[in-house]
Chain A
Amino acid sequence: MSGHDHGDDGVSRRKVLECMTWAGTGVLWTVTGGVPRSLGIIDSAQAATAAAPGMSFLQISDSHVGFDKPANPNALGTLEEAVGKINAMPAKPSFMIHTGDITHLSKAAEFDNADRIISQAKLDVHYVPGEHDFLDEEVKFYRERYGRGTKGQGWYSFDAGGVHFVGLVNVVDLKAGGLGNLGAEQLAWLEDDLRGKSKSTPIVLFAHIPLWTVYPEWGWGTEDGGRALEHVKGFGSVTVLNGHIHQVMQKVEGNVTFHTARSTAFPQPAPGAAPSPGPMKVEDARLRSMLGVASINFKQNEQRLAIIDTPLQG
């Protein structure tokens, strides 16, 4: 993974803070001309969409349905608020991706509640699992609901609006002392999945844990994420969307844009800013400014997808 690190400057706290300042609530991705582009605020994204129609989709992440600790005693309620935000968007996204940790403890009732709320957005939802979605004894609830038609532990790909989307699973078979893990079988599948695709096809990879090394001390990275990125080398536009760290972070490296979305449940501290990455309790008045969703806008002839993070409030 070191090849995909920040290199000389490392992930300095200032850099992280800059990223944080830039962040909003949700991520709206716009894809036009094959490249996802991040706009930074919803209004400009919408303006851009009006100028050159493209395709937009929504990213929602880390809903942790069932979480009821002090950092947010009502995670189901804030998920419902996020869905309300989505429904209020003037331009309806084409579909939604959920980058995992749908539930907090993988209980059947938590999955049911999550589905009851998320379905109110009336959008197709493409899920990948977080580690919190595989906690039931038989590890069957997620697969029963969302695993149909997927390979291995739940990975798959699909095409929409001229973009090739790949949902990856990096929360299974984790090794002691290590980070997220894709595994040889999934990497071989990915290589095969991308084979023969035109290099001008925009690629969106999405998975729960960041595929790039954000902060290994807290496990925020994927052991073999660099190998997945090798398979997308040569593509003109690559966008990597993740969750897990409950805050917005973005990095652009050549033709690859990395982005993490906010949680709809509770914030987590900036890397190294607290003794642990656990749920961060903030003043009630601030909570909704730290939760949200993301919209992604995709326009023809633009290399980057526009990502707009929209907080629940503020």
Chain B
Amino acid sequence: MKTLNRRDFGVALAAAVLLPATTARADDMGVHIDNFVFQPAELKVKVGTTVTWTNRDDIPHTIVSAGKFRSKTLDTDDKFSFTFTNPGDYKYFCSLHPHMTGMIKVE
């Protein structure tokens, strides 16, 4: 998982660089679930950003960040969105397959 995290961190950074330096409102961003993995596993966003998770597996998953947010069960192609209004590191996982973990870093 360590190497995956590093790689996905790189992806997240690349995505951040592509964002306009100043935006009237934060752009919405997405995380996909493919093959029991959150992609990117770590995502950096600005305060006010809405992140939408999409389950592309044939198996249901959930998005749970203890005390912060909890999705309903997402069947194939179902989505869950959450708007981050406070900065911080939001660790989350799938409560059905807890080896699936991810992180949203809000600045």
A276 touches which of B57, B75, B92, B93 (Cβ 8 Å): B57
* Dominant secondary structure of chain B at its interface with chain A: loop
B79 at the interface (CB under 8 A from A): no
Q: How far, in Å, is A220 (CB) from chain B's closest CB? A: 9
Would you give the 0/1 interface string for A266-279, flagging 1 where the beta carbon is closer than 8 Å to chain B? 00000000011111
Q: Check if A276 sits within 8 Å of B35, measured CB to CB.
A: yes
B36 touches which of A71, A105, A278 (Cβ 8 Å): A278
Residues of B within 8 A of A219 (CB): 97-99
Would you give the 0/1 interface string for B69-96, flagging 1 where the beta carbon is closer than 8 Å to chain A? 0001101100000000000000111011
Q: Check if A216 sits within 8 Å of B37, measured CB to CB.
A: no
For the complex, give the distance between the alpha carbons of A4 and B66 in Å. 31
Q: Which of A105, A217, A218, A278 has most B Cβ within 10 Å? A: A278
Which chain A residue shows the least CB distance to B64?
A176
For the complex, give the distance between the alpha carbons of A66 and B93 in Å. 25
Chain B interface residue number, banded? 20 to 34
For the complex, give the distance between the alpha carbons of A216 and B98 in Å. 11
A-B contact number at CB 8 A: 56
A140 at the interface (CB under 8 A from B): no
Residues of B within 8 A of A106 (CB): 73
For the complex, give the distance between the alpha carbons of A278 and B94 in Å. 14
A148 at the interface (CB under 8 A from B): no
Q: How far, in Å, is B93 (CB) from chain A's closest CB? A: 4
Q: Check if B75 sits within 8 Å of A174, measured CB to CB.
A: no
Q: Check if A176 sits within 8 Å of B101, measured CB to CB.
A: yes
Which chain B residue shows the least CB distance to A280?
B58
A binding-site residues for B, Cβ under 8 Å? 69-71, 104-106, 131-132, 135, 137, 174-179, 216-219, 275-279
5 A-B pairs (CB sep. < 8 Å): A71-B58, A177-B99, A179-B98, A219-B99, A279-B59
